[in-house]
């Protein structure tokens, strides 16, 4: 019986430690093991990925490749620039592959792609081995244990988890890896058909990145940002399993922090260092195993017994939230990402006429926020020039660094949707998708739904004030001074409401509060925009809209506007 020839397909698991799928590949005792990463066009071109997340991915790939080579000097991560759906049939043949092994992916697109690849493997007589490893519980198992329903609350996750049993303990990284075998590629590269929804920059990048199957030097190397035609990253956060394990080790070494961590008590205004772990991007790329994280934290919690914090606020509770959103997505598929056709997402008629007669469904009122105004609010929010320094500081940190604290995300998401601008959560989720280094479809979508009170959470009367909330954490406004340097010299009294400062003081502090943030200063005097609305008034407008929408009680897949009337279908 010839020995297996295996492709190990890295995707959501850019690590060597605690990888059940990699272990399954090694358990086959292969003659050769090809560790590859394919150019998935969905990720590379269609998804919104800003330079910061790209850099993070390349860091993770470089680090992984080095680690592979440390275990076997003849091996490394082989970057192949073609879509898996067209690449695999050729690769199976060329490298005489018997097995394809990868970590399970329950993202909507991931499932579709993997089903296609499984079918291609079947046609080629290649056996496919898949193992879960991306979440604490296999998301499909979690859904099954939740009566085949999406997990929409922490108590559902905990009850379903209890039925499944203990979260599996992590396994160590392998000590050695087999040789990869010959890496000849005699076939032609197949480019994806250009999609009309990609822009010119993406199309250029597509051309450049497809310049050769194995890269410009034909060595399967991880590309550089320049080679991809991308702008340099601006984030200080760098990727890779090595950094992730070091960060986790430092966190766990602080046993008090680990055992008593309570999310609501961590400061969203803290920076250098931030108040939470900042391990999310490593979890996203699988550079850190969530089960490694969970058990290292849980073992400390067990030592502290009654003195340790508990889910949902504890560190382990945070990881359970992550599983909750993965479970919701696994059950709902593509529908999870939108309001339309999503049976679990409440329909809110964002910036459309919102005063509705609940008995007839007829629009009786005016536009709460009309479309043009909503567009302006959205743009100013995105560009960090709302005139509310707390919101602007967060949005600028997000764009520059790709990460903001969870409560900061709460603040900007609430402000854009039901607590300020009354703009659809899907618009905000798209901005986060592009800018976050930790963008995780399930977590991003789920949290946006939570914050906009369209799913998971319904207390829409609880709103974040862009003034009182940050004041609680950071009286002097150090966070604002860092990310909105125009206001660096403002007195603490005015740091969250600069428009209230007397003009003479504004001049003294070298910044005038005027305009909408698009006009340049005059060299010595900078400018900072006036607030784009009166927050108290706008909050009431939003509250009224939410109240009306909740009264009508329509959900995404059964609401439609017909002749000016919201109708339940």
Residue 445: CB minimum distance to ligand FAD, A: 8
Measured from the CB atom, the residue of 67 and 449 that comes closer to ligand FAD is 449
> Three-state DSSP class for 395?
helix
Residue 323: CB minimum distance to ligand FAD, A: 8
Measured from the CB atom, the residue of 282 and 496 that comes closer to ligand FAD is 282
Measured from the CB atom, the residue of 413 and 480 that comes closer to ligand FAD is 413
Residues 369-408 close enough to bind ligand FAD by CB under 6 A:
405-406
Q: Where does this chain touch ligand FAD (CB under 6 A) — which range of 169-177, 225-233, 271-279, 500-508?
A: 271-279
Total residues at the site for ligand FAD (CB under 6 A)? 28
Distance of CA 269 to the CA centre of its chain: 20
Please, which contacts does 197-201 make with residues 24 or more away whose CB atoms are closer than 8 Å? 197/46, 198/45, 198/46, 201/229
Q: Are 291 and 167 in contact (CB under 8 A)?
A: yes
Measured from the CB atom, the residue of 61 and 277 that comes closer to ligand FAD is 277
> Three-state DSSP class for 3?
coil
Residue 408: CB minimum distance to ligand FAD, A: 8
Q: Single out the residue of 78, 399, 112, 82 nearest to residue 212, CA to CA.
A: 82
Angle between helices 425-435 and 389-401 (to 10 degrees): 40
> In sequence order, what are the residues at sequence separation of 6 or more whose Cβ sits closer than 8 angstroms to the Cβ of residue 515?
527, 529, 530
Q: Which residues of 155-179 are buried (b: 16+ CB within 10 A; e: fewer)?
A: ebbeebbeebeebbebbebbeebbe
Separation of alpha carbons 400 and 285, rounded Å: 20
Q: Are 422 and 541 in contact (CB under 8 A)?
A: yes
In terms of C-beta density within 10 A (0-12 exposed, 13-18 middle, 19 or more buried), how is residue 147 classed? exposed
Q: Out of 101, 152, 279, 374, which residue is the one contacting ligand FAD (CB under 6 A)? A: 279
Q: Are 83 and 41 in contact (CB under 8 A)?
A: yes
Residues 285-344 close enough to bind ligand FAD by CB under 6 A:
318-319, 321-322, 325
Measured from the CB atom, the residue of 33 and 287 that comes closer to ligand FAD is 287
User: The dihedral of CA 226, 227, 233, 236: what is its sign?
Assistant: negative
Residues 410-439 close enough to bind ligand FAD by CB under 6 A:
410, 413, 432, 436, 438-439
What is the pattern of x (binds ligand FAD, CB under 6 A) and - over residues 161-200?
----------------------------------------
Measured from the CB atom, the residue of 37 and 415 that comes closer to ligand FAD is 415
- What's the count of helices (H) and strands (E) in the chain, helices before strands? 22, 9
Measured from the CB atom, the residue of 17 and 526 that comes closer to ligand FAD is 17
Query: Cα 280–286–291 angle (5° rounding)?
Result: 80
Q: Out of 49, 64, 283, 453, which residue is the one contacting ligand FAD (CB under 6 A)? A: 283
Residue 424: CB minimum distance to ligand FAD, A: 13
Residue 266: CB minimum distance to ligand FAD, A: 7
Separation of alpha carbons 43 and 240, rounded Å: 19
Q: Out of 409, 418, 427, 539, which residue is the one contacting ligand FAD (CB under 6 A)? A: 409
Residues 437-456 close enough to bind ligand FAD by CB under 6 A:
438-440, 443-444, 447-448, 451
Q: Does 276 bind ligand FAD (CB under 6 A)?
A: yes
Residue 298: CB minimum distance to ligand FAD, A: 13
User: Where on the chain is the footprint of ligand FAD (CB under 6 A)?
Assistant: 263, 276-280, 283-284, 318-319, 321-322, 325, 405-406, 409-410, 413, 432, 436, 438-440, 443-444, 447-448, 451
């Amino acid at each position: 019986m010839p020995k297996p020839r295996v492709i190990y397909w890295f995707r959501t698991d850019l690590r060597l430690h605690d990888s059940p799928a990699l272990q399954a590949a090694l358990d086959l005792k292969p003659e050769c093991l090809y560790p590859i990463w394919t150019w998935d066009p969905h990720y590379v071109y269609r998804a919104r990925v800003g330079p910061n997340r790209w850099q993070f991915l390349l860091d993770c790939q470089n680090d992984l490749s080095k680690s592979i080579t440390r275990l076997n000097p003849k091996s490394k991560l082989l970057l192949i620039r073609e879509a898996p759906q067209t690449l695999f049939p050729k690769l199976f043949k060329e490298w005489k592959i018997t097995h394809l092994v990868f970590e399970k992916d329950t993202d909507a697109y991931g499932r579709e792609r993997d089903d296609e690849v499984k079918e291609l493997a079947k046609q080629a007589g290649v056996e496919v081995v898949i193992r879960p490893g991306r979440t604490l519980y296999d998301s499909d198992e979690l859904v099954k244990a939740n009566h085949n329903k999406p997990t929409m609350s922490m108590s559902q996750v905990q009850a379903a988890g209890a039925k499944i049993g203990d979260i599996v303990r992590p396994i160590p990284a392998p000590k050695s890896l087999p040789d990869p075998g010959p890496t000849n590629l005699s076939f032609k590269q197949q480019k994806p058909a250009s999609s009309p929804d990609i822009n010119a920059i993406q199309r250029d990048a597509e051309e450049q990145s497809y310049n050769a199957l194995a890269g410009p030097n034909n060595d399967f190397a991880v590309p550089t940002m320049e080679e991809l035609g991308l702008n340099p990253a601006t984030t200080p956060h760098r990727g890779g399993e090595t950094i992730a394990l070091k960060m986790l080790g430092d966190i766990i070494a602080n046993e008090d922090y680990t055992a008593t961590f309570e999310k609501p008590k961590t400061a969203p205004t803290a920076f250098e260092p931030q108040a939470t772990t900042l391990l999310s991007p490593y979890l996203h790329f699988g550079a850190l195993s969530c089960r490694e994280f969970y058990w290292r934290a849980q073992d400390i919690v067990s030592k502290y017994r009654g003195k340790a914090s508990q889910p949902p606020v504890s560190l382990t509770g945070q990881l359970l939230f992550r599983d909750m959103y993965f479970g919701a997505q696994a059950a709902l598929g593509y529908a999870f990402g939108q309001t339309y056709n999503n049976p679990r997402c409440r329909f809110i008629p964002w910036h459309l006429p919102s005063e509705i007669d609940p008995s007839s469904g007829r629009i009786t009122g005016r536009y709460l926020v009309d479309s043009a105004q909503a567009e302006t609010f959205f743009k100013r929010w995105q560009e960090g020039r709302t005139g509310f320094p707390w919101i602007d500081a967060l949005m600028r940190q997000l764009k520059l660094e790709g990460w903001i604290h969870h409560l900061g995300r709460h603040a900007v998401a609430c402000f854009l949707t039901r607590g300020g601008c009354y703009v659809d959560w899907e618009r905000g989720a798209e901005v986060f998708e592009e800018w976050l280094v930790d963008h995780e479809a399930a977590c991003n979508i789920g949290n946006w739904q939570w914050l906009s009170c369209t799913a998971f959470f319904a207390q829409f009367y609880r709103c974040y004030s862009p003034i009182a909330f940050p004041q609680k954490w950071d009286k002097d406004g150090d966070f604002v001074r860092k990310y909105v340097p125009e206001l660096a010299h403002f007195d603490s009294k005015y740091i969250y409401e600069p428009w209230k400062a007397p003009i003479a003081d504004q001049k003294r502090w070298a910044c005038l509060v005027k305009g909408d943030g698009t006009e340049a200063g005059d060299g010595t005097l900078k400018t900072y925009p006036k607030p784009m609305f009166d927050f108290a008034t706008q909050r009431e407008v939003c509250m009224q809209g939410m109240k009306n929408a909740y009264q009508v009680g329509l959900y995404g897949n059964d609401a439609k506007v017909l002749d000016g009337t919201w109708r339940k279908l």
